[in-house]
Chain A
């Protein structure tokens, strides 16, 4: 408990609520995410995990409550606002364009260009060279950078996704079920990469959503458990076990007033 207090709070959610019609997706949720930690977000389907990610990444605005970045209140009107703060999201469905090649996919919305006579002309060579370096870092080989992503293997497509998060994940990296669509070997690569990034970036935080508690216990420092739009409890990974977490997810343990 005391070791956490030495770290700064990077992101704070205070009493965040979100309703979709008569359904309450988030109910007065308050959490803190600290610098230099990996926090896991777990909960059954419908617990509110995806909604929370969408709010933090600027895709949805909350109905009530406030967000604080480094203890200053922020209002995210769109994903661009979030990205400007260094919040990078890896989506469950990969957010990939099958009709484009891997380089283009890597640089979506971050294209390198220069202004020529009023037109934003792409620097295709520069992007290709940067892409090669990024894919080297990721450690997955892509045989032809100009091949449409549609024709690449699942692992190669994942390289694009991981490349984005390695290169541009600055302050807060949200990983929404990053291994859901992957095989065993690729999953291992992703988990190792997450650990690597965490070790290299001391000022960033990673929020990791997963249904797989084994992965959660392997990687994260703290676990936030959600159920029916509420925070059931927060536990230090070292001070809890699978049984307790499962009980919290399924509701065998009631709402926990403490946040540690």
Chain B
């Protein structure tokens, strides 16, 4: 069959590609080791827990974004859906004087949040699928008006004061780790299974890889895109719910900047902006990397503006690594 010489050159390429595919985790480990060794206060249990804690919101947003990206689209509205959901649920449930005054049951607030996520997702999908508008443009507009609508309806005030059953997911700790962290892990495991091991997930990859082939084979691409955007919307609204729980309320500007962090996290984690490529394992690593860099910068009393600068550099590094992979074709 193959001569041993040919086999070893093929193996080398496969190994090189496998290495580059998982390089995010290696980078994460290297960063953790470097920071632990050089930054005072980094190498503590409390800080390590903090790093994972800080990755929850970006991590969960990254789940929805990964599905959308793999399908060949982009969802810029996730930050606003999250913020809008936080603001909406607080407005409905909170005891604050600036809230609606309805002081509804926590779980009605939760349902409202899920409904909002579904609505935004369906809205996005409608324009992408039926009017064939680029998802960048559609979700850019929802990014702008969803938060604006939430602020407009609720008056734009910061609101504080949520009942215990709203906050339990943050206040309850298991081994000093907030419940929402476990929720994030559970979500990653479930959605990675959905992506890699179910027919739906496989079709997401197919549509992202070759949409016309998907059509030719009778895959209902329109329905799939609707599902993907709605999934992203619901996941984002869930993230917003958790944000409100942690902050015990909401402010109009909450979550500002999350969009770029999410995009940075998924790109660093190997999800391609072109579509068809990536996994949640990588996205999770990306979120952790961003979080540990946040922590490192905080603890070294470095200017907060450097954070954004570093994020930008990370994206270019991640994209370059992806390009490098193509060299080992």
Contact B14 A147 (CB under 8 A): yes
> Residue of B at shortest CB range from A123?
B197
How distant is B182 from chain A, measured CB to nearest CB, in Å?
A: 21
Question: Which listed residue, B17, B210, B214, touches A98 by the CB 8 Å rule?
Answer: B210
How distant is A57 from chain B, measured CB to nearest CB, in Å?
A: 8
19 contacts between A and B (CB under 8 A): A57-B216, A59-B215, A59-B216, A80-B218, A83-B218, A91-B216, A95-B212, A95-B217, A97-B206, A97-B210, A99-B205, A99-B208, A100-B205, A108-B206, A108-B213, A120-B198, A121-B199, A122-B202, A151-B329
Extra 7 A-B pairs, beta carbons < 8 Å, given A120-B200, A121-B197: A96-B213, A97-B210, A97-B276, A99-B277, A100-B205, A121-B199, A151-B13
> Residue of A at shortest CB range from B7?
A143
Tell me, yes or no, whether A102 is within 8 Å of chain B by CB: no
Which 9 residue pairs are nearest across A and B when measured between Cβ atoms?
A: A97-B209, A80-B218, A99-B276, A109-B217, A95-B213, A120-B199, A99-B209, A79-B218, A97-B210
Question: Which listed residue, A58, A91, A108, A144, touches B14 by the CB 8 Å rule?
Answer: A144
**Are A97 and B205 also in contact (CB < 8 A) when A78-B218, A109-B218, A141-B1 are?**
yes
Contact A124 B197 (CB under 8 A): yes
Tell me, yes or no, whether B194 is within 8 Å of chain A by CB: yes
Complex Cα distance, B329 from A79, in Å, reads 33
> Residue of A at shortest CB range from B329?
A151
Per-residue CB contact flags for chain B residues 167-211 toward chain A (1 = under 8 Å, else 0) read: 000000000000000000000000000100111101001101110
How many A-B pairs have beta carbons closer than 8 Å: the answer is 79
Complex Cα distance, B218 from A95, in Å, reads 12
Q: Which residues of B contact A95 (CB under 8 A)?
A: 210, 212-213, 216-217
> Residue of B at shortest CB range from A111?
B199
> Residue of B at shortest CB range from A146?
B14
Interface centre among B1, B209, B329 (most CB of A within 10 A): B209
Tell me, yes or no, whether B219 is within 8 Å of chain A by CB: yes
Q: Which residues of B contact A119 (CB under 8 A)?
A: 194, 198, 200
For this complex, into which size category does the number of interface residues on chain B fall? 20 to 34
> Residue of B at shortest CB range from A57?
B216
How distant is B107 from chain A, measured CB to nearest CB, in Å?
A: 23
Q: 8 Å CB contacts to B: which residues of A94-138?
A: 95-100, 104, 108-109, 111, 113, 119-122, 124
Q: Which residues of A contact B216 (CB under 8 A)?
A: 57, 59, 79, 89, 91, 95
Tell me, yes or no, whether A4 is within 8 Å of chain B by CB: no
Interfacial residues, chain B to chain A (CB-CB below 8 A):
1-2, 10, 13-14, 17, 194, 197-200, 202, 205-206, 208-210, 212-219, 276-277, 329
**Are A97 and B329 also in contact (CB < 8 A) when A111-B202, A122-B197, A147-B14 are?**
no
Q: Which residues of A contact B199 (CB under 8 A)?
A: 111, 113, 120-122
Tell me, yes or no, whether A244 is within 8 Å of chain B by CB: no
Contact B209 A98 (CB under 8 A): yes
> Residue of A at shortest CB range from B70?
A99
Complex Cα distance, B17 from A150, in Å, reads 13
Complex Cα distance, B10 from A113, in Å, reads 32
Q: Which residues of B contact A58 (CB under 8 A)?
A: 218
Complex Cα distance, B13 from A147, in Å, reads 11
**Are A143 and B10 also in contact (CB < 8 A) when A83-B218, A97-B206, A108-B217 are?**
yes
> Residue of B at shortest CB range from A59?
B216
Q: Which residues of A contact B276 (CB under 8 A)?
A: 97-99
Complex Cα distance, B206 from A58, in Å, reads 20
Complex Cα distance, B13 from A256, in Å, reads 58
Contact A79 B215 (CB under 8 A): yes
> Residue of B at shortest CB range from A94?
B213
Complex Cα distance, B206 from A95, in Å, reads 10
Per-residue CB contact flags for chain A residues 148-173 toward chain B (1 = under 8 Å, else 0) read: 00110000000000000000000000
